[in-house]
């Protein structure tokens, strides 16, 4: 009588396994479980419209959501289950060097990795301390200290060492340069 419920469970588990095998490059934002759930719901809704099985559709969608919530709940409690279901980031760059072995595991080329670097505005691989392909397929990275941008706080510390005061935050940025010009003029007259 409720064979469609078993079919729903089989579809979501089979879809999840296939997406995990497909790898991180395929998935953009969602975890594999979320992707399968969304795709399955879309497919089920399409069949429901064609076959006029509204109640079966509602039950199947509810089953998908319950399975998703159960898997996510278990993944929060047990790290081994989380690694199996959600995955873990894969290190692809260490101290500016590409980890070729991990790129091969991801079935990713160096050119594809370089594309992701360019999309993040990173010009040199050597600027990266650690680079990873995250579980959602995005590129995550940590820059080496020498490549990190200067923050306002760091700039204020440097200027304080030089005995120069920054104008208040939120002031006109052109006033910063005018203030520098005035300071330099005062220094020339002394």
Q: CB neighbours (10 Å) of residue 103?
A: 18
CA geometry: angle at 152 spanning 147 and 141, to 5°? Answer: 35
Query: Among residues of the chain, what percentage have pLDDT more than 70?
Result: 64
Return d(Cα 23, Cα 92) in angstroms, integer: 14
How many C-beta atoms lie closer than 10 Å to residue 150's C-beta? Answer: 8
As a whole number of angstroms, the distance between CA 184 and CA 190 comes to 10
- Residues 122-132, buried b or exposed e (16+ Cβ, 10 A)? beebebbbbbb
pLDDT at 50 over 60: no
Share of the chain above pLDDT 90, in %: 24
Cβ(135)–Cβ(24) below 8 Å:
yes
User: Whose CA is closest to 116, among 96, 95, 136, 133?
Assistant: 133
Q: Is the pLDDT of residue 171 over 80?
A: no
Instruction: Quickly tell me which residue has 């579980």 as its tokens.
Output: 135
* Better-predicted residue by pLDDT, 26 or 54: 54
**pTM score over 0.85:** no
Say if domain 90-147 classifies as CATH 3.30.2310.20: no
101 or 43: which carries more pLDDT confidence? 101
Place of tokens 């060492």: 161
Q: Report the pLDDT value the prediction gives residue 54, as an integer from 0 to 100.
A: 59
Is 90 exceeded by the pLDDT of residue 142?
yes
Q: What is the CA radius of gyration of the chain?
A: 26
Give the model's pLDDT for residue 102: 94
Between 116-120, 125-129, 136-140, 158-162, the lowest mean confidence (pLDDT) is in: 158-162
């Amino acid at each position: 009588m409720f064979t469609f419920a078993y079919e729903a469970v089989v579809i979501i588990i089979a879809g999840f396994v296939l997406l995990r095998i497909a790898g991180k490059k395929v998935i953009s934002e969602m975890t594999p479980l979320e992707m399968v759930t969304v795709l399955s719901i879309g497919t089920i809704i399409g069949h429901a419209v064609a076959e006029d099985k509204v109640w079966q559709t509602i039950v199947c969608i509810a089953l998908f959501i319950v399975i998703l919530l159960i898997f996510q709940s278990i993944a929060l409690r047990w790290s081994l289950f989380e690694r199996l279901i959600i995955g873990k980031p894969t290190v692809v760059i260490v101290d500016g060097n590409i980890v070729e072995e991990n790129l091969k595991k991801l079935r990713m080329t160096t050119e594809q990795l370089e594309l992701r670097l360019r999309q993040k505005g990173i010009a040199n691989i050597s600027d990266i301390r650690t680079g990873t392909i995250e579980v959602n397929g995005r590129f995550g990275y940590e820059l080496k200290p020498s490549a990190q941008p200067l923050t306002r706080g760091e700039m204020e510390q440097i200027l304080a060492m030089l005995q120069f005061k920054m104008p208040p935050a939120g002031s006109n940025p052109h006033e910063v340069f005018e203030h520098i010009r005035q300071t330099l003029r005062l220094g020339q007259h002394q």
